[in-house]
Amino acid sequence: MAADKVDSRPIFFIIFGASGDLTRRKLIPALFSQHVKGRLPEHIQIVGFARRPYDHEEFRRQMRQGMEELAEIVPDADDWEGFCRRLWYVRGDLDDAGAFERLQAFIDQKVDGPAHRLYYLATAPSFFPVVIEHLGQLDMAQESESWRRIVIEKPFGQDLRSAQRLNQVVHAYFDEHQVYRIDHYLGKETAQNILVFRFLNTIYEPVWSRNYIDHVQITVAETVDVEHRGAYYDRAGVIRDMIQNHLLQLLTLVAMEPPATFDADAIRNEKVKVLQALRPLDLHQSVLAQYEGYCSTQGVADHSQTPTFAAIKLYIDNWRWQGVPFYLRSGKALKEKTTEIVVEFKPPPHVLFDLPQDYHLTPNFLSLCIQPDEGIHLRFETKVPGSPRETRSVDMEFHYHESFAGQSLPDAYERLLLDAIQGDASLFTRSDEIETAWKVLEPLLRAEDDASIAGEMTTYAPSTWGPPEAETFMTQEGRIWRIGCREHAD
Ligand code: BG6
């Protein structure tokens, strides 16, 4: 992967929206952890920018407290001491150009010569264009002797048009090579392992196509409900919050062709091709639903029609995947927290064993468990010892916690922030990728936004696997949802 040559120029990591939840919960813990591991560049300074009336000391105190409370990390005193010497705070309003001038002046007085800058947009999405325009108009995006990068959190737009508009604002001041659109699912160790699994082993790739694969399922199930994020979630819903980004990203990793090299553009070119080949979504091939009680959440409209669960079927119209359905589902307030990809293989063309008449042949399947029990299972049939006609399904299993005992998996942000600092954009979403993903989901978003198309919203009981319609949807396809190499039962 293309990373920067080591240079000794200082780096300023500037966080807009530094008093928010994301900074305490994810960004500071990830940067701190990389500091402890000795992986942060020596000359990096982290500058928080927000409206709250903090000084540097108060900001440091707040970050430490947030990290302890939200990320449950209690830092060693020396480690924290070393880290917090790199932490600074500039108070300012995102609407105020003068505040950006003060930020500029603060950075300039800290260094003698050129310094690199990474701007992290951890603000509410409505401020993304505001911040970008201030940076652009004050020439803070210009690269001459040092680089300028911008990391943009999700959601990147609300639909295709707003994503295009946001890309236009970004590109008015930043070249695409400076832009890092973050999707934390790509930073998950197990998501990255999909490509290693597919392209560093010879045994799976030959069967990785319509010739042997019956269908693919991608499930991202959460037990939590929308918690305190009602106001945000009610405008987003599960399609915008999860499917457009995390699930479609997982789908591209499963379905993409091998890139010739492992560099950012080669990888992203292949992912875009998958998205471009997705057949326009058929609304009749989807189930949208809302968990009971959602409408009484603070910030949610009384008769909200926002779905908190979706199951959809997609086809990739290309040579490799023609005719293979990809079923995607995600929801809040479900029975288990799990993210999993199940690849189900076709039955053997001819069964030569003398099996009982009512014998139900279990297909082979491979399950890639992204979280929480990270690992890979392969299910296959075997003969029950001593029995002439009986067979049973068994698993070959790999669990990270067994094979890499004592090694905890790093949080996704640790990897992503370091990649952005080092200039490796492989795990970030390119502008064409994001726009194509929105385009695929347009019919569903229109239905979601227009109750007259969608009809009455189906509901489901919390702590179940979603509405019964989602099960019926699969049984009508002659298939069943699977979790961890098993069918799930409520
Ligand atoms: C975020 C969504 O992007 O991903 C949240 O906004 C969701 O609603 C979260 O809870 C899930 O992430 P993870 O890593 O816990 O699966």
Q: pLDDT digit string (tens) for 168-219? A: 999 999 999 999 999 999 999 999 999 999 999 999 999 999 999 999 999 9
Taking every pair of Cα atoms in the chain, the longest distance, rounded to a whole number of angstroms, is 82
Mean pLDDT of 227-251: 95
Residue 487's pLDDT is 61
CA of 27 to the centre of ligand 1 (A): 15
CA of 224 to the centre of ligand 1 (A): 10
The residue nearest atom 5 of ligand 1, judged by CA position, is: 241
Got the DSSP string for 177-224? Answer: GGEEE--GGGGSHHHHHHHHHHHS-TTTGGG-STTTEEEEEEEEE-SS
Confidence of residue 485 (pLDDT cuts 50, 70, 90): low
Ligand 1 atom having least distance to the Cα of 245: 3
The residue nearest atom 15 of ligand 1, judged by CA position, is: 222
The yes-or-no verdict on residue 423 having pLDDT over 70 is yes
The residue nearest atom 14 of ligand 1, judged by CA position, is: 185
Ligand 1 atom having least distance to the Cα of 371: 16
246 among known catalytic residues = yes
Angle formed by the axes of helices 160-173 and 128-137, nearest 10° = 20
- How many whole angstroms separate alpha carbon 427 and alpha carbon 431? 13
Residue 456's pLDDT is 74
- How many whole angstroms separate alpha carbon 115 and alpha carbon 317? 47
Q: Are 217 and 477 within 8 A, CB to CB?
A: no
CA of 41 to the centre of ligand 1 (A): 29
Q: What percent of the chain has pLDDT over 90?
A: 85
| Helix and strand counts by DSSP (H, E) for the chain | 16, 17
- Which of 428, 151, 438 is CA-nearest to residue 268? 428
Strands 148-152 and 179-181 turn out to be: parallel
- How many whole angstroms separate alpha carbon 452 and alpha carbon 488? 33
Which of 183, 184, 234, 414 for a ligand 1 pocket mutation test, highest count of atoms within 8 Å of Cβ?
184
The residue nearest atom 9 of ligand 1, judged by CA position, is: 242
Please list every protein residue whose CB sits less than 6 Å from any atom of ligand 1: 222, 241, 339
Ligand 1 atom having least distance to the Cα of 226: 8
pLDDT tens column, 262-285:
999 999 999 999 999 999 888 888
Ligand 1 atom having least distance to the Cα of 241: 6
The yes-or-no verdict on residue 152 having pLDDT over 70 is yes
Confidence of residue 451 (pLDDT cuts 50, 70, 90): low
Ligand 1 atom having least distance to the Cα of 337: 16
The residue nearest atom 8 of ligand 1, judged by CA position, is: 241
Q: Please tell me which residue in 246, 303, 377, 488 is annotated as part of the active site.
A: 246
The residue nearest atom 2 of ligand 1, judged by CA position, is: 241
